[in-house]
Each structure stands twice: as C-alpha cells, then as structure tokens.
Amino acid sequence: MTEQTGRNREARDPEAVSKFVEGFAAQLVEAGMQRMPARVFAALLASDEGVLTSAELGERLRISPAAVSGAVRYLSQTHMVAREREPGSRRERYRVHSDQWYEALTSREAILKRWAVALREGVENLGADSPAGRRLAETQAFFEFIDGEIALMMDRWRVHRDQVFGGGRRPAEDT
C-alpha cells in the first residue's frame, strides 16, 4: 500500500462509505438482485483491495456469518465474486475483480445460448406455423441477436478499457 493510499483510506468518512454501499446496493436490488448479495457486492466493490473475509463483511455490514455465506454463494454462482483462501490460513476471502461486469455478462451469454437451443427444440415440437411456435421462434431470434451483440460489445469494451486504463491494466488490481 502506498503512503497516498493509506492517507486516502484514513481520510474517508465511514458514514459516507456506508451510505455509498447501501445506496448502490439499493440500486442493484431495484434492478432485480437480492438484497443481501447486493450489499455484500457493494461492500466488496467499495473496499480498496476488492477483497474481504466473511468476518470483515459481517462487521462492515452488521450481518451474520450465515447471511454473508448465502450472499457469497449467490454472487459466486453469478460470477460476480471469487472465493479464495487467505494465504497461510484456512479462512476464505472474497474478491471482486475489476472485470466482474464482463464476467457476469459473459456467463449470461452461455445461458442465452442454452435458452436459444431449448427454444429451437420448442419450435420444432410445437410447429413453426403455430402461434406458440412463432412466439418461441421470435424469442429464440431475440436471444441469438442479443448473444451476438454481447460478444461484439465485449470486444469493444476490451479495446476501450485498454485505451482508458492502459494495456489491460485493471484499476482494482493496482493496489
């Protein structure tokens, strides 16, 4: 940790940090994320290292270890956080990467592909000329379109990220 980073951390108002965490979590909840995973994710995002233990999360958010565990399980399944062992310890810590949105979107890409395949089978089973078959075909086409757009958008994001942050360097991992 640099001297500047240490000074910035000391100068932070814990109330302001808490207000950000709760406010951003509320935005995530409004978008459809469960409340506790949203709070845990926002707390990780607001930490300088992007890494916290279960105990640290519980303390910062004033929640139980069970609440942390359930939230982290959800966030891990959605590729929003990664679990890792604390060096020299059996304790787990949880990391949010600077590319968590990229990871989350690309994991959704695989889901879209599976849904498109299932819908294609539905069209075949229901008949392409039936009202249900046409509705399924349109939904399938939508998912295939979105899948292609996500791939193109992710390519553009990598170029943009490199331009803004320099050669693949990730701000959250510079500490």
Q: Are 80 and 100 in contact (CB under 8 A)?
A: yes
Helix (H, G, I), strand (E, B), or coil: what is residue 94?
A: strand
Please write the tens of the pLDDT for every residue from 11-55. Answer: 688 999 999 999 999 999 999 999 999 999 999 999 998 999 999
145 vs 111, more confident: 145
d(CA 159, CA 139): 31
pTM of the full structure: 0.71
57 vs 6, more confident: 57
d(CA 45, CA 81): 10
Q: Are 52 and 20 in contact (CB under 8 A)?
A: no
Alpha helix (H) ranges present in 14-130?
Answer: 14-30, 35-46, 54-61, 65-77, 100-126
